[in-house]
Chain A
């Protein structure tokens, strides 16, 4: 039986279908989760997809963080449930305090969409173990507020504990501190990522298929758990 991966739809979520497709291609079973429902249907892992939940009003992710479904996800994450937040999902994870730091407006003050080179810095998280450390990949990046910020002590802590999951290579597209593209929690079950691996799972539509291991990783993690 394949693992059941929940994909949450908030009002204004855009990449939910893409995340579900990526789960399917990876061999998992995507399960639709609704923001207003605190039942997460017993899923084995959760993806918070990209988009503009609540129109990014107030602050990206600030309203979604209070959705009923987040109560169950936050509880689950604290108990080891694998959670991947992509783009707006990453913003929701930092607003939920499952991950440290904040995501600010891009340094250029423009939305940017580009094929972005990354280095996988940590292949120990539940969402990156099908990569090898220092593997270089190209996946789409598209955000207006992807400029990762944290105080120097937090950044040092993240670096020291190997919790920087992915780093921008060649170009830092949004001004992120220390070129950080993604981070994980201490336990490695929660990962926040600004680029979009779900858009790099088919050679037909993506620049590469190098995003797919994020989705196979969690299946591997669940089997070995």
Chain B
């Protein structure tokens, strides 16, 4: 029998399974206080899912506030934190929206569908801002490459991302693939989408206008993913815990493609007053957020929802996370036209509700009222926790355990062996086996894609205006020092778009951490937030939105703190972009920035010695800013032929990647006074390799000197090997063999 509001009033003491739904006793009490009675089972379902960690950010909110409070002054931000995705002005009347989200837990349970629906969800966030999606990127983290479970999880996740994104028609232009033992039981699947629109096409999630109609359209509602978000994202995988693993949502990219086209058509026809995608918490989330952001009242006739499974209860319909659904607010006068355009795309739509002046969100089920709540209490006024945190007891000893005593290569032959070993290390090896399963060409606007430093997309075919995006995070650095680790992630991402010639504008983030109930994890989280907020302020790039994923831990072992940072940058004309690799012999190779003996958290220490300890490389954001300005100016003036970021693995890896990409070798000298090993493999930040032709050399050097950027001539391109003069030479063929063998050796049939 359906539990109704009148039944709840008549029967106030009925016991309710709030704990099974993930609510704490005090949270349940608060719901009773808000309502002045016990909740109905439908209300309980709504509160439980909307107050889950995943939907309410209850543990992270107090820390995330810094992104707003410390936001740098900028005119570029058109829509900030809090909407489905932030919107940035890129000039000429164009706006760009972008966001990264996690789908970690579902992807571990069911790799293909978990990853696929991660792509689907972030794409709907972008559409619901009124933007046409332009591209996707996927930062991924896995356990050790050769671990049996990685063999189970990785191919499924890659197929899921490809299967969904390819069918949706969005180019996949970059991302990351990182292996570390801490991700074995908790792989990270983050998905980023970027979209563009004209300024006047920006739409927001609000239900305004008394009498306007609430239209649900897209796929039918089924039993998939019921409780998926709240349960899957809020509990760890405990061997003997309760069996709270409901079905992961199943994606239908074909429906999503229709949804994109249909949505953009109704938006451009001016038929929509407000719009919201359905993701986590489904109808509960969409209706309460729309009502909460609007004129405050909404009535929903839940029995009108088109169902895939007629046996679903109202509670299940409210919680269902069936994919490929959207909710629009439409005036009665425009309803027919709206419905006709949706039907043109063979998509089903139905009016499920109406905006009213009641100030309440009410839901009816076959004539009986089953929900009567203040919408803000569901959508925005959930619990907020000031979780305790403290610096881990082991942090000092971790930082004291520096890599200084690790044995280093001592001659040219050992340096050569180190390079060949490192270029084939899982984290540095070619990811082509993965990225070749993604369509990078569709839509015809992909200017740069992996393995370039940043993905770059042409937004305007007439002017060539475009955007570049990179996502980065070195979780080892963040473990050694979460505050500076977050800044380092920002610095690397900022640098990666800059080497491509684009000017950094804004930041999104996906903060992947262990359990917030562990004070040491919570300390990592608070430090990372503080570092990222400070870094963004210093670099003048605001955070426009993001996502938090907690509970990424197995037993007591948390993942490396992994604050993935995405930087969006603008380039006035994509014709001017700087590629990562040189294009001819005889080009001159320069090192920009300072190299120090910095190996803590480095790929060398990790891969060669399995060592993690010490303090991460010094972060100097002023240097990063100068480096960026020099690189962007050189791109604009055409004085630079190629540039590549120096990060994981150091200069030798950077030069090798450039040589492998171009097929042309390089001869570089170790600058006077440098230890060859430090020169080759140290991971000091704020550096890049810049390549210029003889004609532009003096102008380029002058621009570096004027900016106060250290510039060192390393050598010239040519030949078919990477040669460090006086130390060693390794042929491109040999380097490629090491680089390209690692991943296929595990996964190719």
Contacts and interface: CB of A to CB of B under 8 A. Distances in A.
| Most chain A CB atoms below 10 A, which of B435, B437, B439 | B439
Nearest to B257: A12
A54 B167 CA distance: 10
Contact of B458 (A15, A50, A54, A205): A205
Interface in B379-424: none
Contact of B159 (A110, A196, A205): A110
Contacts of A135: none
A114 B445 CA distance: 16
Interface size class of A (residues with CB under 8 A): 20 to 34
A55 interface: yes
A17 B461 CA distance: 12
Contact of B254 (A52, A114, A202, A206): A52
Given A108-B749, A112-B437, A113-B436, A204 B447 contact: yes
B167 A52 contact: yes
Contacts of B258: 11-12
Contact of B169 (A14, A56, A112): A14
Contact of A111 (B162, B254, B749): B162
A21 interface: yes
A111 B163 contact: yes
A130 interface: no
Nearest to B435: A113
B443 interface: yes
Contacts of B252: 55
A140 B440 CA distance: 10
Contact of B441 (A17, A21, A144, A199): A199
Interface string A9-29: 001101101100100000000
B575 A204 contact: yes
A21 B257 contact: no
Interface string B254-278: 1101100000000000000000000
B438 A113 contact: yes
Contacts of A192: none
B166 A142 contact: yes
Given A17-B443, A18-B444, A110-B159, A12 B167 contact: yes
B444 A17 contact: yes
A202 B461 CA distance: 12
A206 B749 CA distance: 30
A17 B260 CA distance: 15
A126 B48 CA distance: 63
Contacts of B169: 14-15, 51-52
Given A14-B257, A14-B442, A21-B444, A204 B574 contact: yes
A113 B440 contact: yes
Contact of B439 (A54, A142, A198, A206): A142
Contact of B166 (A54, A111, A114, A199): A111
Q: Report, as a range, how many residues of chain B touch the other chain.
A: 20 to 34
Given A52-B253, A111-B437, A11 B442 contact: no
A114 B444 CA distance: 15
Contact of A205 (B166, B345, B435, B444): B444
B441 A196 contact: yes
A15 B442 contact: yes
Interface in B333-349: 345-346
A21 B443 CA distance: 10
Interface string A105-127: 00010111110000000000000
A140 B169 CA distance: 15
A55 B444 contact: no
Interface in B552-582: 574-575
A56 B166 CA distance: 12
B437 A110 contact: yes
A18 B167 contact: no
A111 B166 CA distance: 9
Contacts of A12: 167, 254, 257-258
A153 to B, nearest CB: 31
Given A18-B444, A112-B437, A142-B441, A55 B254 contact: yes
A18 B444 CA distance: 6
B483 to A, nearest CB: 39
Most B-side CB within 10 Å, residue of A56, A111, A140: A111
Contacts of A18: 441-444
B154 to A, nearest CB: 13
Given A11-B254, A12-B257, A54-B254, A114 B443 contact: no
B323 interface: no
Contacts of B166: 52, 111, 142, 144
B446 interface: yes
B445 A205 contact: yes
A136 to B, nearest CB: 18
A111 B164 CA distance: 11
Contacts of A206: 441
A57 B254 contact: yes
B346 A11 contact: yes
A113 B439 contact: yes
A198 B438 contact: no
Interface in A4-50: 11-12, 14-15, 17-18, 21, 50
A113 B441 contact: yes
Contacts of B575: 204
Contacts of B162: 110-111
Contacts of A54: 254
B728 to A, nearest CB: 31
A208 B452 CA distance: 18
Nearest to B258: A11
A21 B440 CA distance: 17
B669 to A, nearest CB: 34
Contacts of B441: 18, 113, 140, 142, 196, 199, 205-206
Interface string A190-209: 00000010110010111000
A11 B345 contact: yes
B376 to A, nearest CB: 39
Contacts of A199: 441-442, 444
A37 B345 CA distance: 13
A202 B159 CA distance: 29
Interface in A47-78: 50-52, 54-57
Contacts of A11: 254, 257-258, 345-346
Nearest to A34: B344
B451 to A, nearest CB: 14
A56 B258 CA distance: 14
A204 B749 CA distance: 35
Contact of A114 (B163, B346, B436, B446): B436
Contacts of A56: 167, 254
A144 B346 CA distance: 25
A61 to B, nearest CB: 14
Contacts of A17: 443-444
Contacts of B159: 110-111
Contacts of B168: 14
A15 B441 CA distance: 9
A23 to B, nearest CB: 12
A133 B749 CA distance: 36
A202 B346 CA distance: 34
Contact of A198 (B167, B254, B444): B444
Nearest to A115: B441
7 contacts: A12-B258, A14-B443, A55-B254, A110-B162, A196-B441, A205-B444, A205-B458
Interface of B: 159, 162-163, 166-169, 252-255, 257-258, 345-346, 435-447, 458, 461, 574-575, 749
Given A14-B443, A17-B444, A111-B162, 20 more contacts: A11-B254, A11-B257, A14-B168, A15-B169, A15-B444, A18-B441, A51-B169, A54-B254, A55-B252, A56-B254, A110-B437, A111-B159, A112-B436, A113-B437, A142-B166, A142-B441, A142-B442, A144-B166, A204-B458, A206-B441
Interface of A: 11-12, 14-15, 17-18, 21, 50-52, 54-57, 108, 110-114, 140, 142, 144, 196, 198-199, 202, 204-206
A-B pairs with lowest CB-CB distance, top 3? A55-B254, A14-B169, A18-B444
